[in-house]
Amino acid sequence: MDGHDAFPRSSPHSDTSWQVAVALQDMKFSAAHFVAFEGFREPLHGHNYTVGARIGSKRPQADGYVVDFGDLKKVIRGICKEMDQRTLLPAKSDVLCFCEDSSSDKLEIQCQGGVRMVLPRQDCILLPIVHTTAEELAEYIASEVISRIGGFLQKRGCEWLEVQVSERPGQGAAHMTSLRPERLAVPVSLKRHVPRPCMVPVSSMDDPVDEVLRELPRASSASSASSEVQFVPSPNRRPLKLSKNFQRPAGSAHPLAEEAFRQLLSTLGPEESSRPELYKTPYRAAKAFMEMTAGSSIKDPLEAVGDAVFEVEGAHDLVAVRDIPFHSLCEHHLLPFSGTAHIAYFPDGRVLGLSKFARLLQVFARRLQLQERLTHQFVDAVFELLSPKAVAVSLEATHACMSHRGASVPSSTRTIALRGPQKDDPALKEQLLLGVGRGGAVAARL
């Protein structure tokens, strides 16, 4: 294939005598990218990439093959197809941050030097690399090949894999990796780099997709020491939760979770689990699982309300916020439960912005939960934030583990919890319970 003749053909392991290689014209993809690191960012541009691969082994198997060419070609073509006609973005970049705008399906790329790029979300693919160079693309494709057929290659006695990526004829890079078991079982870290300022101003770039919306504040010395990335707040913009070490395109699916779902599907038998319709199911299921448990990664749930706690003179009368929807995941069966929450409280001069109740509830709900614990965590957080005279929280939910398995009986469960120094005052207690509603199955801690 063009551009691959310059790659060395020596074996990375002296004890492997057999090699197979694929480098065909249809193993290619066209994509846009830019490379950014501290002090530098190049304009967005594109390449017609070509991909090749080699595998080394000590000997062919009983069927005469080291590995069937078709198996290797199929997986590489699939990887190329996923990146074709996309903008390649490095999820592990130490100078870029990514925010998704739910209202417009746009992906905003932020650099702390004050530069922003806004791209259509569906045109982008987030890769678990630091830079979108040919070197790191070769490493990424090699890791994808291993994640998809590494076990199969291992069983056939394959010793190593080399992936070659060319940006144009005569210009490319190669990555070699061992297929031996001790090299495949590499633990995945969740730690991220902290973004550093990118010093190239947008005005110096001939880049039509750049948008200078406003100057972003530079990270302080305190935030620079943190492993968390600070995103510019917006009502419709939500930060993408990115893993430093391995983040799948277009979301937050983790490879360990994806592999676990793949193994789970294999229990259905080879015929059912190999259906083409299920090819991306492990990735989709892992992505959904990570989304539904995203609250587990938030160390301080109270930070979800920001500065929306207000001192209001004379605020002492009942406040009731009702019908807040929530969705959670049962920790016993990993099945969903969902419902609505109601909250009522008697403030003591301090109130919370109404929308923040929903945000705070979501932090606790988006994790493996019990409804009883969720109720108590929510009411405890509200009490800690506001120090009201009294507060009551009621959650009413339906549980899939009740309606879809076991007894298979549809029902709803209500839990109620009260907090505060005056929660036992008969007059206040009656108003609180009226505020959050009564009836249904109640598991209250009064």
Residue 65 neighbours by CB distance under 10 Å: 14
Separation CA 44–CA 34 (nearest Å): 5
Based on its alpha-carbon atoms, the radius of gyration of the chain, rounded to whole angstroms, reads 27
* Options 182, 215, 313, 332, the catalytic residue: 332
Contacts of 142 (CB under 8 A, 6+ apart): 161, 162, 163, 175, 176, 177
Separation CA 370–CA 317 (nearest Å): 31
Contacts of 118 (CB under 8 A, 6+ apart): 106, 107, 108, 109, 209, 211
* Options 211, 228, 331, 384, the catalytic residue: 331
Give start and end residues of each alpha helix (H) in 251-318. Answer: 255-266, 270-273, 281-292
Judge whether 198 counts as a catalytic residue: no
Residue 374: φ, ψ to 5°: -60, -45
Contacts of 237 (CB under 8 A, 6+ apart): 99, 100, 101, 102, 108, 231
Judge whether 331 counts as a catalytic residue: yes
Judge whether 371 counts as a catalytic residue: yes
* Options 254, 371, 377, 396, the catalytic residue: 371
* Options 99, 108, 330, 369, the catalytic residue: 330
Q: For residue 115, count CB atoms less than 10 angstroms from its CB and return exposed for 0-12, middle for 13-18, buried for 19 or more.
A: buried
Judge whether 399 counts as a catalytic residue: yes
Judge whether 330 counts as a catalytic residue: yes
Judge whether 13 counts as a catalytic residue: no
Judge whether 111 counts as a catalytic residue: no
* Options 333, 372, 376, 422, the catalytic residue: 333
Contacts of 333 (CB under 8 A, 6+ apart): 400, 401, 405
Could you give the residue numbers annotated as active site?
330-333, 371, 399, 401
